[in-house]
A and B are shown apart, each in its own frame.
Chain A
Amino acid sequence: MMEEDKMAEEACEKLDFSANKGAETGASTLPRGEEQQAKSCSPGRISKLERDLLAVVTDIQAAADAKESKRREELEEARRIRSELLEKDVKSSQEKFEEITARWALAEQVVVPQELQETLKWQQLLCAELIEDKRKVIKDLQQELKRADHRYVKDLRRQAEELDLMMRRSEEVIATLTQAYREELDHIESIYQQEHDVLLTKDQTEWEQSLKEMWDQQQERLAERKKTVEEYEAKIHDLMMDPEYKYDAERADHFADIRVLEREHQQMLADSMISNVNYIKDKHDREIYNLSHMKSRILSLQTELKNLKSTCASSKKQSEKQSSCLSNDYKRSIEQYQCVQRRIRHFAVADARQFEETWRMLDKEVRQQAEKALLIDSIIYKQHLGLAWARPPGASAVDLSGPCNLRKRAGPEHGGAGMDEAAAASEEEEEVPLETMKELMELLCDELDFLTEDRLQLLETLGKKERNVVKLEALLHVFGMEEEDIPKLADFLLKYQQRQPAEGRSAGPVESGDKSQESATSSACNPNYILPALKDFLKHHSRFRSQASGQPRYWSADMWDSSSDEAYWESLASVITGDKLKVWDAAESILKKHMPDTWSLQVCQIFYRLDMAEKHHLGGIGNRCSINVEEQHPSWMSFPLTLSLRLSLYFLLLSVSMEFLLQFNTIPLDQGADASGFCPWVLRGLSRSYSGVNHFCSVLYTGNATNKM
């Protein structure tokens, strides 16, 4: 048993040792081998390492297990052997015990003490043997127990050792594993580092490469660009230079052409000059010839001049004589004129008086006629028709208004006595044409330079028109005149001019006025008359001015209430109304039957025509109508009532024409620029009306004359 135990132990130890050794060697060699394999397959290595190291530890457990099972086997074996031994022992001891018990029965039979003693001894021996056996067995068992104890202790020790070993190995395993893990980690890290490095280097190289490529590309592009730039520059240069060259060439060509042309031109010039020279020479020759001819003529003319001078001197003397004679004539004509004026004034006063008288007379007559007509009317009514007659309202008005009108009209007629010719002329201003006016103004400016000379030195630079305008202004300022007076001045000048040549003539103012009107428009003024005329005008102007404000005019509109006049006459005319006329007509027709009378018919006609004339006059053609009346029916002039009727008619017309005049006068003349354009028209209109009046006046005169005669 001991040997077996030992054997088993040894085997176990061997196994353990071998395992241990193997494990140790494995553990020791592994890392070295691992390091070599490290780079080939790390995960496998780690797992293998783990497994191997685990095996190193578990080997102990396995060994322990094996030992345990072996121990159990051994224990079982030992138990079996022990039990066999014990059984054997039990058997032998049983036999011995049986033998002893058998001997006890034998001993009972033995009576002999010696035998008994002998048997007892034998028994004793046997018992001792038995006890010895038992003791031996016990001793064996005790020894076994001791051995088992010993072995238990050993086992314990061994197990402790194993535990120690296991712990140690575990620690080793932990250490190696940690180291391995660390290595692994390092390895992984290094691999990652490497990968990282590789990637980095790769990326870097790629980067560099791409950079380089880009750089190259950029360079290439730059080079290309440079090249193109150069090309373009060259092109630009070419383009710039090309035209220049062309221009130069063309210029050179042009120069050449020009030179050629110049040369040609010069040649031509020379040619022409030569021809000219030749021509001039010819001309000169001819002129020389002419000159000689002329000289001879000059001589003849000089002689003629002498003759003429002598004649001139003689004619001068003659003209002086003439002029003195003419001045005398002039004086005389002035006197004549003044006389005529006086006469005219006188006539005018007389006319006025006559007019008044005539008017009164006419009025009276008309009243009487009206009264007569009314009477007739009343007679017709009362006697013929047998009706009650009432005096019509118009008839009563005739009585009232008549003296009133007369008184009113008497005022102005008294004042108008002291009016002179100039005032009359100014009243009847005529329309002066614009051109004439302009001419006059220019003339005025030219002639009266001396008045404004000191001031208008600087005006030389200006245009003619402006200069004239400025000069005119200055002149007006000097004269103390307004611009409105210009037409007056012009008119005056013209009149003056016309008057001067007409001085000598003894014709009436009416004719001369007519003529002057025509001549003024056509001919320009004589500069010689300007200065005296202006002097005259200024004189008149100042006087006129003072007069204009103070004295009432002769034919003033305020004085002559034509409308009332007209109404008056109308009222008188309409004393017998249309109805009454009809009544009359009826009465006449009845009467005619009784007394056919052509005279009354004529009266009726005249009245009718009078009405017509009035109507025509209102249409603005009164003068023509009146003339027509006069021309067509000269027969009614011989009518006993002619004078009064005529007068009434004339005054009617006169009043109308005067109305015209006043209308024109009322048109404002202070309209500046329009004045020059407007004035001639006004003047013309005035003259026309005036002439109309004159005409009527003449007719009146003739009528008077015929009446007187």
Chain B
Amino acid sequence: MSRLTGGPTMLTVESRRLRRIIAENPNWSLALVPFLSTLCLECIVRNFEETPIYEELTPSQRDFVQERLSPSLPLPVTANLVDDGVYWRRCCEQRWDICDVSHYGHSWKRMFFERHLENMIEHFIPETTPLKTVADEIPLCEAYVKRLDISQMLPPIKEAKVGIGENVDWLSETDSDAAHMEHYDFRNLLSMLRCLEEFHLTYWVKQCGMNFEWKMFEMAERDCETLSMALECCKTLKVVRLYESHIDDEKCKLLAKHLVEHSSLRELNLSHNVIGDRGAKAVGKLLSSSKLEILNMSDNIIRDVGANAIADALSNNCTLLSLNLRINRVSDEGGQAISKALLNNSILLHLHLGANLLTGPTAITLSEVLAKNQTLKTINLSCNKLGVDGGKALEEAITQNSCLRECDVRLTEVDEQSASIINQVVCNNKSASVTNQVVCTNESTSFINPVVCTNESLEQEEQPLDDEVQPQDDEAPSEAPTSTNST
């Protein structure tokens, strides 16, 4: 303590033995003198680039160093040396304003490297930016990147074309430049990233301004080839999202062909593309052979043929949990096919058929299915012209179903009464399940794999819930008015 009080006041008996320190500066105090260890650490921080010493430090010293290291240090020095902590937080906060670390598994380092890599790719200009810039970063990032969400792919610069004129016919231009619209080749990158699980990609150009070209928002054929090969190479991938990239049937077929063999893929999102029936057929093939759990084909132009193909796959597939065919051109034929496929399927939980061309017959066949199927949780039929009869059929079917939690029949020209009844039933089912879940969690029972549960719940028809097997659950269906009527 005397060390801290220090200075002229240090005149205690004890201090006589020590060397007396009399400062000329009255404001001088020993407290101002930093610890030698602090000085050392500061020295380490200063010379970190030349002689990075980090592993040898104690946790508290590491914290000290992390607090003081410059965020502008070259990544090759810090990337594999400084572990996740304050330093990477400081790096992130320096580079980006909005940093939601919860989105990155609460890892600042992961966030930094993912965003860093995304940034690198999004600003990669083919043929101008050297490939090395990205390739150099790969060994630094490979251990930390789990997800890549690339929202922009810059095309190569066309200086000559820009200079020619603005009133050039865009149709002729697209044909001539098709070969040149190649983007970044992902093959090298994806094969290097060891723990990549999610890959979101859209061929899109942000803030293109007056340089707008349709080609900018398209995936070139060459791109598709390289990308599909890259996806095939990356064995850790679980989620693939390729949206708003103008994927047509051919590209879709190519992708599906390469993804068929992929063992770990669980989710495929090809929404907002221009996939037609042939692409849908390819996806159907993919469905029947892969272990996809979630398939999103919303906002495409799939018609009955494609829908039939998907329905065939659905009737054989035993892994798909969610199918989204929102905003497609599926009409009654496809709708009925999908409905019938559900008769044989006891896995699918979520089905979205909103904004299609479905009408009454589909509703009737679907109602027949719904009366029997006890696995489907949510079904969305909004924006289809189901008509009053279809609505009534659905109403009758749903009153017998105790499993359905959501049934969207908005803007389907269904009678308001039946719509309200459907809503009520669904609501009751949901609340019952919620209370059951609450009861279940209160009783702290283990959460069993839904897939297994659905099988069991089919066998026990009195059992309305797919995710809990509980003898006490009998109370829950009794609360629902429909449970007594069900078979």
Chain A residues in the interface with B (C-beta under 8 A): 15, 43-44, 47-48, 51, 55, 58-59, 62-63, 65-66, 68-69, 72-73
Contacts and interface: CB of A to CB of B under 8 A. Distances in A.
Interface string B353-387: 01111000000000000000000000000110000
B327 interface: yes
Contact of B383 (A47, A51, A62): A62
A62 B327 contact: no
Given A15-B411, A47-B434, A59-B410, A65 B329 contact: no
A69 B382 contact: no
B427 A66 contact: no
A69 B383 contact: yes
B431 interface: yes
A47 B430 contact: yes
Contacts of A62: 354, 382-383, 408, 410-411
Contacts, number: 40
B431 A47 contact: yes
Given A15-B411, A51-B427, A59-B410, A69 B434 contact: no
A53 to B, nearest CB: 14
B253 interface: no
Nearest to A55: B410
Nearest to A47: B431
Contacts of B430: 47
A59 B382 CA distance: 10
B326 interface: yes
Which 9 A-B pairs give the minimum distances between C-beta atoms? A65-B355, A66-B383, A69-B355, A62-B382, A65-B383, A66-B411, A62-B410, A62-B411, A65-B354
Nearest to A63: B411
Contacts of A58: 408
A639 B68 CA distance: 168
Contacts of B410: 55, 59, 62
B431 A66 contact: no
A72 B411 contact: no
22 contacts: A47-B427, A47-B430, A47-B431, A47-B434, A48-B427, A51-B427, A55-B410, A59-B410, A62-B354, A62-B382, A62-B408, A62-B411, A65-B382, A66-B355, A66-B411, A68-B299, A68-B355, A69-B327, A69-B355, A69-B383, A72-B327, A72-B329
A367 to B, nearest CB: 128
B interface, size bucket: 10 to 19
Contacts of B355: 65-66, 68-69
Please classify the interface of chain A as helix (H, G, I), strand (E, B), loop, or mixed, using the class held by over half of its residues.
helix
Q: Which of A51, A58, A69 has the most CB of B within 10 A?
A: A69
Interface string B395-412: 000000000000010110
A44 B356 contact: no
A48 B354 CA distance: 23
Nearest to B428: A44
B327 A65 contact: yes
A352 B299 CA distance: 189
Contacts of B327: 65, 68-69, 72
Interface string B291-309: 0000000010000000000
A48 B431 CA distance: 10
Contacts of B356: 69
Interface string B419-431: 0000000010011
Nearest to B426: A51
Contact of B326 (A48, A59, A63, A65): A65
Nearest to B434: A47
A15 B329 CA distance: 21
A58 B430 CA distance: 18
A43 to B, nearest CB: 8
A600 B336 CA distance: 195
Contacts of A69: 327, 355-357, 383
A43 B434 CA distance: 10
A293 to B, nearest CB: 135
Contacts of A65: 326-327, 354-355, 382-383
B383 A44 contact: no
Contacts of A47: 427, 430-431, 434
A2 B133 CA distance: 53
Contacts of A63: 411
